[in-house]
A and B are shown apart, each in its own frame.
Chain A
Amino acid sequence: MAEQVISPDLKFVEDVIASGGGDLKKCYQCATCTVVCNVTPDNKPFPRKEMIYAQWGMKDKLISNPDIWLCHQCSDCTAYCPRGAKPGEVLGAVRKLAIQHYSPTPLSKMVGDPKYLLILFAIPVLLFLSYIVPKGYLDVSAIPRGEDGGIVYSKFMPVFPQIDVTFGAAAFFAAVCFVLGIKRYWTDMSSGVGAQGNIADSIKTTISEILAHKRFEKCNVTKDRKIAHLLVFYAFVGLAITTTWAIVYLYGFHYDSPYPLYDPLKLLGNASALALLYGITLVTGNRLKNAEKAGKGSYFDWLFITVIYAIVVTGILSELLRLANIATLAYPTYFAHLVFVFFLFAYAPFSKMAHMVYRATAMVFARHTNRES
């Protein structure tokens, strides 16, 4: 190996510590973490080396490294660390900094820092208010009702242009950020590493692995996470199908919402929502249950969990309140639901949501370069 010139970046060390890796400095490099890790490749295993890179502030070595994403934060390392250095949490913090690094907007800093939370919420709140205030919809009685006198949310917040243009733009923005980020990440990862085999094969294997959630099975301390994450994952898939289906109904068949509860779209949507609620509750429960062994988690993690919670709760409530025809609660709840959904999508490239993209990319890269077979 060529001689590397080490230039410690103290700021990066402090960032890792501030981002949830508060126990980083306790590591004394015994490598127990690497020994107990079931997810790491055998060759140059993690997280021992990541711990010392982080201690020495070697940012470049860390964030452009696929290994930080191959880690699924089972927290076996954290549970067995004899010094309580919590390698799982440190890698979580490093991943947050990696997400921030590859997302090229000032929003990246803001999502990771509780200081900016209000501003981040203020953006969608003001945006959606700007649609309804001019129409006087702050007064609930002024909102037009459906033909049967029931609540119709599309009359409160029209699907087009308000909803679709706003979310379309948010999704486009997020997609662009993701594409740019992934491109930079891929370039950084590839420098000096030779790719092997067919990229399509690597992608195919990775997707099938993600769909089966095989990695999670290797965890010991947080074994229960597989079911929780699987539920959340497939709930999101279900909701994505529901949304697409709704678009087809709307623009293909000009069939407007609300749809009856027996409609297959509605059945799928409601089932996904319940799965998401159960899944995210399991996620939270597991985290609380394992906090002592696996660590408490960072602001970055909990913000993400809270937003998902908020989305699913406001979503289900919106539907129930609509059906119960309690207008004074239904509209504000729906409003909140829209704000949270916006938060999740528009900020996805900067929040923990980005993990799905970066991790998937890293897994493809690892396969493609024989880091993993």
Chain B
Amino acid sequence: MEKKYGVYICKGCGIGEGINVEKLANNVKGMVCKTHDILCSPEGINLIKEDMKNEGVNAITIAACSPRVKTEEFDFPGALIERVNLREFVVWSHEPNNEETQSLAEDYLLMGIEKIKKGDLPEPNILQDLSSTILVIGGGVSGMNAAIEAANAGYKVVLVEKEAQLGGFANRLYKKIPTGEYFNKPLIVDTDIDKLIKEVESHPDIKVYKSSKIEKTEGQPGLYDVTVSTNGGSETIKIGAIVLATGWKPYDATKLDYLGYGKSQNVVTNIEFEEIAKKGNGKILRPSDGKEAKKVAFIQCAGQRDSNHLPYCSSMCCATSLKQARYVRQNNKDAVAMVLYKDIRTPGRLELYYKEAQNDPGVMLTKAEVKGVSDAGNGNLFVEAENTLLGEKIKLEADMVVLATGMIPTTREPQEYLDGLALAGTKGDEAKAKYIEETPKPEFILNLSYRQGPEIPSLEGAYGFADSNFICFPYETRRTGIYAAGGVRRPMDMSEAQDDAAGAAFKAIQCIDHVSRGVAVHPRAWDITFPDPLLIRCTSCKRCTEECPFGAIDEDEKGTPFYKINRCRRCGTCMGACPERIVSFKDYSVDIIGSMIKTIESPDEETIRIIALVCENDAYPALDTAALQRKKIDSSVRFIPLRCLGGMNLVWIADALSRGLDGVLLLGCKFGENYQCHFVKGSELANYRFGKVGETLNKLQLEAERVQLMQVAIAEYDKLPDMINEYVERVKEIGPNPFKGF
């Protein structure tokens, strides 16, 4: 691309008052450079557009506000754009009209211009033979709804169910909780699951595989090859994106013998109670003697919110027990349902359901810590409880006891197995072999061909659920192109699962759409750049393949890496990992950042200059927010954003220090896979590499304290300026870099 440069400096929002804009503009030589009072105004935008039209300007440096704002205004398709953050990083966070502030603005502008000189307009990398078929795994309420949503949006859907029929748990229910208004409406309604099954099975764009399993999932978004084993044979299908809706299993009630399960036939789980109601067509005939149950005790949180069993709340059991209380009451006006709860948790709309269900005179509720269930003779049971609202200790007699047991995601067993395998692997091959031999292998779900393992990875605090920890992107998993919906993602009820299914289906569609245009799937959902290694210089060291958090890089037989680019999230971790520095993006490379650093020079031997490499997702917005609150930062620091600190290459530190800069600060996000970063562990990898910076410093005979890595969360904007200023003070104490001026 033949570049024609244009530099546009805004004077608005205090920039004109804080620095000498004319002096700044005069520094720009050999290119169009204009200033404007309010660059984001229609007149300002027009100024740039006119230059594009008349002068052919196509490489635009906009020195105004943070690149995180005014993105719609400063969008000029077909042109390369670089935003220089004069507002937040200069005038809002520094003393106005001061030599150092002016110097800061000059340096930022120089860096911006350098970046645009080095960068290039990207072309998207669109792979061939992409599939737009969506695979839905699991044919329960979530899976079927996801299939219908995707198919109705115009996509072909393949639905794989391991049972012989669709429906999942809903098949086992007698009635369900209605949706919508509860006031003066029936509190139990038919599940209508047959209608949903029929809709799925008769949909022309949904192909259903029953009694089938996923044998293998290979490839990448848009190009998955999924092998389905079905009817004794197997079939490989081209798939674009995957919705994981494999649901949950009830908690193993045999572990709840203190609640009488297994000791009395009349102690049943909530699922078994549904089956009893279904079998009796609403009549509750207790298992031991077939007598109609007229006094039923419901024990909530049975093995839930309990560190010995499930530590979490399954969210659906309270409403389910209130529904089942209605089963008890509907045929018998003298029957009572006694509900013993830790807390009634009926989130959202279900609060109204609770209110309505509670109004029945025969539904009695109390908070209680259930201590045990014992035999009361004749098949009846005593439930003993403490800390109740009725008094300290109570004992009640019931015909039947229902345990509200919780949900375990289907992903949990494979995760536990694989985590155990990984742990055994760290103890050596023998331990690993022993583990494989002795541990029963659970049923796998995805069987991914993926270097980080065949299933959705476990996360601390997710308790086996296929959750990503990405608070803003609930359906994403840690595997690009695979979206979780329903009970496998987090505990939820049927109506929530229905909404969840739509969400996950739309994420799958977004994924298919983005790969068809060569755009990153997420989180950089606008980005058409991609890592493009100069492979002739590759030494096959495998660092990139090992460090890529998304398994986007594999090696061929010769050990040369190759990208499954549709898995890539464009974080640049491979760029930071590569010792040969051969991985580059069109607008982001070791050379581009290195060149930006090289533009910074100390004006004299006494003045401190520090470079800060800043995570774009946490630290950068935190700095913007601090600036918005006019918090002051030492003017010796120049911030350079990185897509992820995982892209940090050690050569930048070596370059900066050997050229006389006084310090390098690295601002990354919190370590650990459980942090909600989309790039999973870039910051931690940067820290790992950073461990080796000592060698560089030793070679240069410089103090280790000059380089520091800090973990900053986006919410820590209030502390960040002080953290930075304290660091600067320490560098100042050490004194100027002796390499200055060399």
Contact = CB atoms under 8 A, between A and B. Distances in A.
Nearest to A11: B334
A1 B338 CA distance: 22
A58 B390 contact: yes
B365 A55 contact: yes
A8 B616 CA distance: 62
A55 B393 CA distance: 18
Nearest to A23: B359
A8 B338 contact: yes
Interface string A203-239: 0000000000000000000000000000000000000
A25 B361 CA distance: 7
Interface residues of A, number: 25
A8 B336 contact: yes
A5 B397 contact: yes
A1 B358 contact: no
Given A26-B355, A52-B390, A3 B362 contact: no
B366 A56 contact: yes
A10 B336 contact: yes
Contacts of A25: 358-361, 363
B339 to A, nearest CB: 11
B389 A6 contact: no
Contacts of B344: 28
A4 B361 contact: no
A7 B390 contact: no
Contacts of A4: 390-391, 393-395
B361 A17 contact: yes
A2 interface: yes
A16 to B, nearest CB: 9
Contact of B367 (A29, A53, A57): A29
A3 B393 contact: yes
A50 to B, nearest CB: 11
A3 B358 contact: no
Contacts of B366: 29, 52, 56
A276 interface: no
A32 to B, nearest CB: 14
A1 B384 CA distance: 14
Contacts of A6: 390, 394-396
Interface in A5-35: 5-8, 10, 13-14, 17, 25-26, 28-29
A83 interface: yes
Nearest to A84: B355
Contacts of B460: none
Nearest to B393: A3
Nearest to A13: B361
Contacts of B389: 29, 48-49, 52
Interface residues of B, number: 25
Nearest to B383: A6
A87 B360 CA distance: 17
A60 to B, nearest CB: 13
Interface in A105-156: none
A3 B384 CA distance: 9
Contacts of A26: 355, 358-359
Nearest to A5: B395
Given A7-B397, A25-B361, A28-B358, A56 B390 contact: yes
Task: From B336, B344, B389, B395, name the one whose CB has the most chain A CB atoms within 10 angstroms.
Answer: B389
B364 interface: yes
Contacts of A29: 366-367, 389
Contacts, number: 63
A58 B394 CA distance: 13
A1 B361 contact: no
B392 interface: yes
A13 B333 CA distance: 13
B355 A55 contact: no
A177 B305 CA distance: 54
Contacts of B360: 25
A15 to B, nearest CB: 10
A1 B392 contact: yes
Contact of B393 (A2, A14, A17): A2
A8 B336 CA distance: 8
A2 B395 CA distance: 10
A124 to B, nearest CB: 36
A10 B334 CA distance: 7
B355 to A, nearest CB: 7
Contact of B394 (A3, A17, A49, A83): A3
Interface string B330-369: 0000101010000010000000000100111111111100
A321 B397 CA distance: 66
A7 B382 CA distance: 11
B393 A56 contact: no
A4 B365 CA distance: 16
A1 B344 CA distance: 25
B343 to A, nearest CB: 10
Nearest to A31: B389
Contacts of B364: 8, 55-57
Contacts of A14: 361
Contacts of A5: 394-397
A3 B374 CA distance: 15
A17 B358 CA distance: 13
A1 B393 contact: yes
Contacts of B361: 10, 13-14, 17, 25
Contacts of A53: 390
Interface string B386-411: 00011111111100000000000000
A28 B344 CA distance: 9
A28 B384 CA distance: 21
A13 B358 CA distance: 13
Interface string B436-471: 000000000000000000000000000000000000
A28 B334 CA distance: 22
Given A3-B384, A3-B394, A83-B355, A10 B367 contact: no
Contacts of A49: 389
A28 B367 CA distance: 10
A48 B395 CA distance: 21
B338 A3 contact: no
B603 to A, nearest CB: 67
A7 B394 CA distance: 10
Interface in B689-706: none
Nearest to B354: A28
Nearest to B396: A6
A83 B338 CA distance: 21
Nearest to B357: A25
Interface string A55-87: 111100000000000000000000000010000
Nearest to A22: B359
A26 to B, nearest CB: 7
A186 to B, nearest CB: 23
Interface string A259-293: 00000000000000000000000000000000000
Nearest to A48: B389
Given A4-B394, A5-B395, A55-B365, 5 more contacts: A5-B396, A10-B336, A10-B361, A56-B390, A58-B390
10 contacts: A1-B392, A5-B397, A7-B396, A8-B364, A25-B358, A25-B363, A28-B344, A28-B358, A29-B367, A58-B390
Closest 4 CB pairs of A and B: A1-B392, A3-B393, A6-B396, A13-B361
